[in-house]
Amino acid sequence: MQKHSFISSAVLIFLVGVLTACNSIQSVFRQGVRKFENGEYDLAIKDLRKAADANHEAARANFLLAESFRMSNRFELSAPYYKKAIDGGLTIPEVPYHYAFALKAAGEYAEAAKQLEKYLASSPTNKVFVEKANRELYTLRSIDVIQQRKTFYRIQNLEKLNTPGAEFSPFVKDEDLIFAASRKETQYKTNGMPMTGIYKVKLAENYEETKGDPEPFSKGLFLEGVNEANVTFTKDGKTVVFARGNTGKKKGAADVDLYLSRFVNGQWVEPRLIPVSDSASWDGSPAFSRDGRTLYFCSNRPGGVGGIDIYRANMDASGRFSRPVNMGKDINTPGDEMFPYVGPDSKLYFASDGHPGLGKLDVFVAIRSQGVITVENVGAPINTRFDDFGMVFADEDMRFGFFSSNRTGGKGDDDIYLFEDESVGLDSTQLAELEKLPLDDPRRKLIGKPEPPKIVNYFLEGLVLTNEAPELPIDSTIVRMYEVPSDTLVGEGISKKEGIFGTFTLEEGKDYSLLFERTGFITKREPFTMAGKAIPQIFRKKAVMDTTFKMTVRLDRLAINKTFVLDNIYYDLDKYNIRSDAAVELDKLVQILKDNPTVRIELSSHTDNRASDAYNIKLSQNRAQSAVDYVVLKGIDRERLVAKGYGETQLIIKDAKSEEEHQKNRRTEFTILSY
C-alpha cells in the first residue's frame, strides 16, 4: 500500500512537471508572438527559438523566426527557418517568395530560382510580389552576366573606423567623413543593436584611413533614444537634411521622417520636420542635387511603384519644398530603391533590390542618353551577394569614394569601405586599348557614352481548350484584348481550328484583360500582365529582339444545372456580412454575369455543422441573400438571381475539425438555371 502511494505520488509529480513545462513553453511562445507583432524582432527571436526548439507550434514558430530575421534585415539568417516552416507543413502563399530572397542573400541562386518558380506556379494575387518575382527570375537565371562584368575598382575596409556594430551611409564634407553608426546607449528592440546616431571623423589626405576618434556630428542634432542617419547638404554646406525615427510616438516603419537644420552663428539649430515627409509612411535617405535645388529621398508612401521608391522635390531659396514627385518606373521597381546620391558627373547613384543584382541591395547608376534613362549595375567588387549601398564620391575626379556593405570579412554588421577607380587618369594610349574591346564588353562603358538601349518587341499568343476531359481545342472563339484600367480595345482575333489565337502586341508595364466569346460556352475573361516580364537591359543581347508569351484558356460549356464554386467567398462564424476578401471574388461573378447577359443563376450558400439544422438553414439563406444583394448593387438585374441557403446539408468536409476545414464548408456557389 505504501509502495503504491509512493508510485502515485511520483507520477503526479512527473505530470505536474510536464504540465508546468508545457505551460511555460506556451507562455514563452505567446510572448514571442506579442513581441513580433510589436516590431521587437530581436526580443521575439529569443522567445520563438525556445518554442521552436521545444517543438511547440514548430511550423509557425519557425515562420515567425524567419520573418523576424527578414524584418530586421538579416535575410541570410532567415533562410533555414523558412525551410523548417515549409517542411513543417506551413502553407502561407508568400513563404516561398520570401524564402527565395533569403536564399539569394545566402548565395544559393539556383535554389532561389526554384522557390520563385514554385511561388509563381501557385497563382499568387499580390501584383507587386508577382512582378518582382518575374524580374528576379531573369536575374537569377543570368546571374553570371552580372558577375562577369569587369571593373577597375579597388576596395578597402576602413578598419580603424569600423566596429562590431553598424557603420553606414558615408558622406564627405570638406575634410570630414560623416556617417551613421549604432553607438548610442539605448538599444533598438528591432535588431538588438544600439540606436544609430550621426558622427564625423577627419579623413587622411589619401582617404585610406581616418584621423582621431569619431564624435557626434552635432550635439544639437544628436538625440538619445532615437535612430538618426543619412545626411545631405546644400551646395553652400549651411543646410542639412537627415532622417530621424523610431521615437516610439508612431508604430512600426511609419515612424521615420526627414528633418532640416541650418547652420547659424557657428552651430546647427533645432531641426524641423520638413513637409515632404508623409506622417503615415517611412521617409528616409535624403540627397540633394549638386546645385542644392532638388531633394531626392525615399518613401514607402501609397501610390508608388513598389515597396520603397525614390522621389524628388524642388526647394526654393526660402527652404520651401514643392510637392514630391515619384521618379517613375525607369528608376523605381516593385522592390526597394534607397540611398540615392548625385555624383560629380550629375548621375544618380542608388541602391536597389529590384534591378538585376547579385545580392539583397546592389549599387546602380541611372544614365540619361537622348531622353532615355537606363539603369546599370556598377558591378563587382562594389556589389556582392550581400547588402551593398550608400555609394558616394570623395573627389570631383571620382577616383575615390566610400560605400557601405555587410559582406563577410568586415568587422561587424554594416561596415564602411573605401573604393578607388583605377581607370581614372589613364592616358590616351591606355584608353585606346579599352576602345579595342568588343562592343558587348561592359568595360567600354568606362570610356564613353553608354550604348543606346536595346529594344524588345513583346507579343502574346495562346490556345483555347474545353475545360473538361479530354481537353479539346475550340475554334471560332472571338478573342478581344483590352488595356487595363482604361478598358481600351488593343487587339482582336479569332481562334483557329487548332484553338490557337493571336498574335497580339504587348507593351512593357501594361496590364491587359482578354475576353473569350464562343457560342455554347460561358464567356470568360482572363488577365495578363507585363508586370515583371520585361527583359532588363543587361540581358538584352541584340539591338532589336522579339519575345512571345504563351497562355492557355479553358472555357466551360453552357449547361443548365451546372454548378461552379466561388473560391474564397467565406464568412465569419455566425455572420453573413460580405467580407472584403469575398467582395473581390463576387466582383468576378459580377463580371461573368455582365459578359453573359442571358444567363440566370442560383447563388447558393452553405454553412459548417456547428449549430442546429434550423439555425444553419436560416444563416445560409441570409448569406446567399447577402451575396445576391451585393451583386445587384453592382448593376446586375435581380430577376437573373435566386438566393438559396442549404445550411449544413451539403458539407464538403463532413468531419471537419480545424477552423480552416470549417471555413471551406462555409462556401458560396452558383448554378446556371437558364440561358
DSSP string of 457-471? EEEEEEEEEESSSSP
pLDDT for position 673? 93
pLDDT in tens, 563-580: 888 876 776 767 778 877
Helices (H) and strands (E) in the chain, counts: 12, 32
Burial degree of 493 (CB within 10 A; 0-12, 13-18, 19+): middle
The reported pLDDT for the residue numbered 404 is 97
CA distances from 318 to 242, 321, 322 (A): 18, 9, 12
pLDDT of residue 68: 92
Question: How far is Cα 345 from Cα 425, in angstroms, rounded to an integer?
Answer: 15
The Cα–Cα gap between 665 and 571 comes to: 10
Residue 356 preceded by cis peptide, ω within 30: no
Q: Kindly write down the DSSP assignment for every residue of 629-657, as one continuous string.
A: HHHHHTT--GGGEEEEE-TTTT-SSTT--
Task: Reply yes or no: is the peptide bond before residue 453 cis, omega within 30 of 0.
Answer: no
Give me the pLDDT at residue 448, please.
44
Per-residue pLDDT at 585: 83
CA–CA dist 215, 231 (Å, integer) = 15
In this structure, the strands spanning 362-369 and 348-352 are antiparallel
Provide the pLDDT for residue 158. Answer: 95
CA distances for 150 relative to 65, 279, 379, 441, 541, angstroms? 38, 43, 7, 8, 17
Spans of all domains in the chain? 2-145, 158-421, 426-451, 455-555, 563-674
C-alpha cell at 438: 568588343
- Sheet containing 478-484: give its strands across: 488-494, 478-484, 511-517, 524-529
CATH topology for 455-555 is Immunoglobulin-like (2.60.40)
With cell 478598358, the residue in question is: 487
Q: Domain 2-145 is in which class?
A: mainly alpha
Burial class (CB in 10 A: 0-12, 13-18, 19+), 554: middle
d(CA 467, CA 76): 43
**What pLDDT does residue 579 have?**
79
pLDDT, position 263? 94
Please tell me what DSSP assigns to residue 270.
P
Closest by CA position to 468, among listed 506, 416, 522: 522
Contact partners, residue 614, CB within 8 Å, separation at least 6:
none
Q: Which CATH number does 563-674 carry?
A: 3.30.1330.60
Tell me what pLDDT residue 389 has.
97
Q: What is the DSSP string of 71-132?
A: HTT-HHHHHHHHHHHHHTT---TTHHHHHHHHHHHTT-HHHHHHHHHHHHHT----HHHHHH
Which residue stretches of the chain have pLDDT < 50? Answer: 1-6, 18, 439, 444, 446-449
Strand order through the sheet with 563-566: 563-566, 668-674, 600-605, 641-645
- Give per-residue pLDDT as tens, 515-567: 999 999 999 999 999 877 888 877 887 889 999 999 999 999 999 998 888 87
> What are the grid coordinates assigned to 223, written together?
538625440
Give the cell for residue 189.
528592440
The CATH code of domain 158-421 reads 2.120.10.30
